[in-house]
Structure 1
Amino acid sequence: MVSKLDLYRVFCVVGKSESFSKAAVDLSMTQPAVSQAIMQLERELDTRLFNRTPKGVTLTSDGSLLFEYANSALNLLDTGEKKILEIKNLMAGELKIGVGDTISKFFLLPYLEAFHTQYPNIKFKIANGTTAEIIAFLKSGDVEIGICNFPIDDPTLEFGPCIEIQDTFVYGEKYRKILSKPVDFEKLVKLPLIFLESNSNSRNYVEDFLLSQGIKIAPEFELGSHELLLEFAKINLGIACVTKEFSMDYLNRGILHEVQLIKEIPKRHIGVCYVKTVPLSSASTKFVQMIENKK
């Protein structure tokens, strides 16, 4: 059965070529099939679309009006199909990611650089936020994938751990004598502590672990960024709880020193997450594969 869209495609080709026979060649159809299609469209619209002459066909006034709209509509459809193919082939599109500043700086940037080099026509949309905010971005559709601190307890999300990280404590020169030997948590919490704000997933993870050890914290300072934790510790305002992997520059240069804990905080992960019921775009799928292949 010939669809209405097929009839309009035949109509437009005939309108351009002004010949059933030429249109038949262009469409890889027989001339009778082209004639039949035009007659069917004329019956459905109850109007004559072409004037038949021995030299070919010309559009009637009704046919000219219809041709203007039908040709524009088909061109738009063709453009839409091409855009879809471009997106599927990563020749166009957008990569929408939710991520925090620290993870962007210390983990995500090399992947963004590699992806952009390989697919330069894909645009980036980066939404910054805490883990809780990124989950909200995912569920609202503002981003397709999130790069977050794990663990996250949400059955609606799919998770893919990427790198293992270690929470630890660091200090400046002022506390070097006090912390020259391994310490337990009971001694550590008696010192001025510097933590991220309580809405941080990293803070909650460490705090929950300490509570499981019977230790309750009362931080001297609660800050909004990992960089500030390091800087506050650097000027001896207290002992900062940080991610070791993101603090190596300070530690390697001797600006800060790591507390030797008698019992380490269990390691956790940073990883990618996305909504289970929402299919990822071609760009997001390829980006997730890139991260997973380089774990």
Structure 2
Amino acid sequence: MYVDWEYYKIFYYVAKYQNFTRAARVLGNNQPNITHTMNKLEDQLHCVLFIRSNRGVTLTPEGETLYARIASAAVQIQDAEAELSASATLEHGAISISATETALNICLSERLQAFHAQYPGIRLRLSNHSTPQAIQAVKNGEVDFAVVTTPAEPGGELKMVELMPFNEILVGGQTFAPLAGRTLSLRELTAYPLIMLGSESMSRTFYRQFFLENRAELKPDIEAATTDQMLTLVRSELGLAFVPEPMARGNLARGRIVQLDLREHIPPRSVCLVYDHHRPLNTAAREFRLRLLNTAQK
């Protein structure tokens, strides 16, 4: 049996208020139409749902049974409508992002802060991944999008958009301050302990290629898991390291570390947004991705 859902909706309000006129007012309708619709519903269901009186209506046992079912459905529909409305207005929602440490520190965190200040009801879920892991998370549909650092190879149908370029610099602890007045070559670095990220990182791939192009051999003495760890090791006088200039500024300004000049020019790197343009996003994720893209265009 097919019964128009609108009939059940009207029945719900008539049963809730036990009055045709009041239900009509809530629904923005008129009492004759409401009465006519309820008569049609009773005909289609082959039972009497209401007992009419001058004071309003009361439900028959059949009406009580139907109302118990309809009321539950109506409340769930109203909750869903409210949830969708809140999501559409960015009152509620969630964004899932995979980000590399450098991308988070020098680009993403500031943009997330501004977005969260405007839309505090949006939940943020961040995953700390290497660039290859972050790209794989996008491919697997585990996150809405990723913010990574180059070199990056998204492949397939993923899109990659540059958000901002950044430069890396060579730094050392205070014991290396005498070197600050010199210009070092990559080959000369073999005489000093070198701190780098692990061999699986894209940063390591980047510097391996950089050294190779300049006929120098890359032999790190210490491997760290994160750039923050590298800076800590540099401050502890354990060696030299290539780090993103924005992440080194604080330590440089406080005199904790020194910047060393390098003869060879370190190619610039970039923070990039990686996403699957075929994958639909919720309102919050779509809005934040749009903001990132708009920033990239400036």
TM-score range, shorter chain: 0.7 to 0.9
Structure 1 residues 38 and 208: alpha-carbon distance in aligned structure 2, compared to 1, 3 A threshold: farther
Q: Aligned ranges for residues 249-288 of structure 1 at < 5 Å?
A: 249-288=250-289
User: How far is the alpha carbon of 1:102 from its aligned partner?
Assistant: 4.4
1:191 is aligned with what amino acid? Y
Does 2:202 align with 1:201?
yes
d(CA) in 1 for partners of 2:210 and 2:145?
A: 28
Which deviates more, 25-34 or 203-212?
Answer: 25-34
Does 2:47 align with 1:72?
no
Q: Aligned ranges for residues 123-272 of structure 1 at < 5 Å?
A: 123-154=123-154, 155-177=156-178, 180-272=181-273
Structure-1 residue corresponding to 2:27: 27
* TM-score normalised to structure 2 length: 0.85
Structure-2 residue corresponding to 1:8: 8
1:171–1:259: 8 Å Cα contact kept in structure 2? yes
2:252 is aligned with what amino acid? L
d(CA) in 1 for partners of 2:28 and 2:59?
A: 22
User: How far is the alpha carbon of 1:204 from its aligned partner?
Assistant: 1.9
Offset from partner CA, 1:134-166 (integer Å, 9 cap, x none): 233334444323221123211333333222111
Instruction: State the secondary structure of the residue aligned to 1:10.
Output: helix
1:98–1:129: 8 Å Cα contact kept in structure 2? yes
Structure 1 residues 56 and 219: alpha-carbon distance in aligned structure 2, compared to 1, 3 A threshold: same
1:164 is aligned with what amino acid? P
d(CA) in 2 for partners of 1:39 and 1:268?
A: 72
Instruction: State the secondary structure of the residue aligned to 2:5.
Output: helix
* TM-score normalised to structure 1 length: 0.86
d(CA) in 2 for partners of 1:3 and 1:277?
A: 37
d(CA) in 2 for partners of 1:293 and 1:189?
A: 43
Instruction: State the secondary structure of the residue aligned to 2:42.
Output: helix
Which deviates more, 59-68 or 164-173?
Answer: 164-173
1:246 is aligned with what amino acid? M
Structure 1 residues 252 and 57: alpha-carbon distance in aligned structure 2, compared to 1, 3 A threshold: closer
User: How far is the alpha carbon of 1:173 from its aligned partner?
Assistant: 3.9
Q: Aligned ranges for residues 81-120 of structure 1 at < 5 Å?
A: 81-120=81-120
Structure-2 residue corresponding to 1:49: 49
Q: What is the aligned length?
A: 294
2:151–2:203: 8 Å Cα contact kept in structure 1? no
d(CA) in 1 for partners of 2:25 and 2:238?
A: 82
d(CA) in 2 for partners of 1:80 and 1:284?
A: 19
1:169–1:239: 8 Å Cα contact kept in structure 2? yes
d(CA) in 2 for partners of 1:202 and 1:46?
A: 74
Offset from partner CA, 1:40-94 (integer Å, 9 cap, x none): 4334434332234566543210111111220221121111111111111111122
1:167–1:206: 8 Å Cα contact kept in structure 2? no
d(CA) in 2 for partners of 1:198 and 1:46?
A: 75
Does 2:53 align with 1:62?
no
Structure 1 residues 235 and 291: alpha-carbon distance in aligned structure 2, compared to 1, 3 A threshold: same
1:194–1:220: 8 Å Cα contact kept in structure 2? yes
User: How far is the alpha carbon of 1:275 from its aligned partner?
Assistant: 2.2
Unpaired stretches in structure 1, ≥5 consecutive residues? none
Which deviates more, 193-202 or 210-219?
Answer: 210-219
